Amino acid sequence: MQTRPARRSSASPLGALLGATLDPLLAKRGFTEAGLIQQWPAIVGERLARVCMPEKMQHAPPGRKRAPDAPHEPAILVLRVESAVALEVQHLAPVIISKINGHFGWAAVGKLALRQGPVVARPLKKPVRAAPDAQMQARAAALSAGIEDEALRARLAALGALVLREQG
Q: What is the pLDDT of residue 52?
A: 93
Separation in Å, CA 40 to CA 35, 47, 61, 68, 102: 8, 11, 26, 32, 13
Which DSSP category does 144 fall into? T
Per the model's pLDDT, the better-predicted residue between 1 and 76 turns out to be 76
Residue 111 DSSP SS3:
strand
pLDDT (mean) for 154-162: 89
* Whether residue 141 sits in one domain with residue 81: no
Q: What is the pLDDT of residue 114?
A: 95
127 lies in some domain: no
Look up the CATH number of the domain holding residue 84.
Answer: 3.30.300
pLDDT digits (tens, 9 = 90+) for 6-56: 666 666 666 666 666 666 666 656 566 667 888 889 999 999 999 999 999
* Whether residue 138 sits in one domain with residue 78: no
* Whether residue 112 sits in one domain with residue 147: no
* Whether residue 111 sits in one domain with residue 83: yes
Q: Domain of residue 96: give its range.
A: 18-64+71-116
Number of domains in the chain: 2
pLDDT digits (tens, 9 = 90+) for 54-103: 999 888 776 666 666 667 788 899 999 999 999 999 999 999 999 999 98
Distance, in Å, from the CA atom of 157 to the CA atom of 147, rounded to the nearest integer, reads: 10
Prediction pTM value: 0.57
